[in-house]
Amino acid sequence: METAETDYPVFKGLQKPLEFMGIRGRFLTYAAGAIGLSFVGFIVFSIFMGKVVGFAAMVAIALAGLLTIYVKQRGGLHAKKRRKGVLIYRDLYRH
How far apart are the C-alpha atoms of 79 and 94, rounded to whole Å?
36
Closest CA to 69 of 17, 26, 16, 18: 26
Has residue 78 got a pLDDT over 80?
no
Q: Residue 5: its pLDDT value, please? A: 52
Answer yes or no: is pLDDT of 16 > 80: no
**How many alpha carbons fall within 13 Å on the CB side of residue 16?**
5
pLDDT digits (tens, 9 = 90+) for 42-69: 999 999 999 999 999 999 999 999 899 8
Q: Is the pLDDT of residue 18 over 70?
A: yes
What's the predicted TM-score (pTM) here? 0.62
CA distance 19 to 69: 13
Nearest Cα residue to 23 out of 54, 78, 81, 62 = 62
* pLDDT tens digits, one per residue of 34-49: 999 999 999 999 999 9
